[in-house]
Structure 1
Amino acid sequence: MTFDVGAFVLQSVPFARTLDIAFDRVEPGVAVARMPDRADLHNHVGGPHAGAIFTLAESASGAAMLSTFAGELARATPLVANSAIRYVRPAMGEVVAEARLRASREEVVAGLDAGERPEFEVTVDVRTTDGTLVSEMTVVWTLRPNR
């Protein structure tokens, strides 16, 4: 049986379900998620609210992280240590986030094996369905060893 990372994220993060986030693709180190165009998620200019875009991007980053480190959940808890987002231009309509892990699994697991609390980056590009870049995000994740 394979671990469905997208379903796990949606089960673990009810707010992502509230926004109707869906995962198109999750593979080692990469996740693609989308958020539909809904009037109740709009901002004052008629596109998705900045907070909704942030949540989409952070959810995609979590899936990219888990696609690589799900096997470590018995001994470590993943947490966001830091995040930064840049809004490039107003988004209109449905938006799609593509997240990519920027660390090697071996390096992060070696830190965990050494009793450390490793930190690593996941970068996310958010685009409209026509491919226009609307936001860029970097999420710094950590694996906190369970006690």
Structure 2
Amino acid sequence: MTTPLLKIYKKMKWLPFGNWLFSKAVCRKAPYFGSIKPTITQLEPGVCMATIPKRKAVFNHIGTIHAIAQCNLAELCAGVMVDATVPYKTHRWIPKGMTVQYLKKAETDISAEAKITLPRQWLDKEDLIVPVEVFDAHGTKVFHADINMYVTKR
């Protein structure tokens, strides 16, 4: 069963600037994510990848990408992936918590990947831990998050 969000992504990704347009639509629905200017580059059940550019608006005092901007990117990837994966007719979800590790300075554009193993059985009142890896432009892992998504039956 394809979720509404995944249907929209599949239609838009083929358009010129489709990933950018889709990302703008997601940020319109959840405006806070717009502050990091993300581009969702891949979305399928169990996987979401996105990037953000290194720019002054997301810098910290030492000129690297701020820790909270990295948290926002991780939460965006996890949330979009879960929304595209959880069977929307029978279940719903909400973020419950996040544990993060700052591994290296993020000195370039960064990309994130949220990924879970499928297929899986969806339960009621389940804590789904979504791992998110964030890499710099050189492929070095700079950040890791485990995001707890609370999944319940409707």
Q: TM-score, normalised by structure 2?
A: 0.79
Distance 2:125 2:49 in 1: 27
Alignment partner of 1:80 out of 79, 90, 95: 95
Distance 2:65 2:56 in 1: 8
Distance 1:144 1:136 in 2: 25
Alpha carbons of structure 1 residues 26 and 66: separation in structure 2 relative to 1, 3 Å = same
- For 1:1-147, what aligned pairs fall within 5 Å after superposition? 2-4=7-9, 7=23, 9-69=26-86, 71-72=87-88, 74-102=89-117, 104-108=118-122, 111=123, 116-146=124-154
Encode CA deviations 1:41-78: one digit per residue, 9 max, x unaligned.
10011011100000001111112212211x41x55432
Does the Cα contact within 8 Å between 1:31 and 1:63 map onto a contact in 2? yes
- Counterpart of 1:31, as a letter, is C
1:107 partner SS:
coil
Distance 1:134 1:85 in 2: 11
The aligned length equals: 137
Stretches of structure 2 that go unaligned for 5 or more consecutive residues are: 11-21
Residue 105 (structure 1) shift: 5.0
Does the Cα contact within 8 Å between 1:68 and 1:105 map onto a contact in 2? no
CA RMSD of aligned residues (A): 2.1
- Counterpart of 1:47, as a letter, is T
Does the Cα contact within 8 Å between 1:27 and 1:67 map onto a contact in 2? yes
> Deviating runs (4+, > 6 A) in structure 1?
none
Residue 32 (structure 1) shift: 0.5
Distance 1:138 1:145 in 2: 22
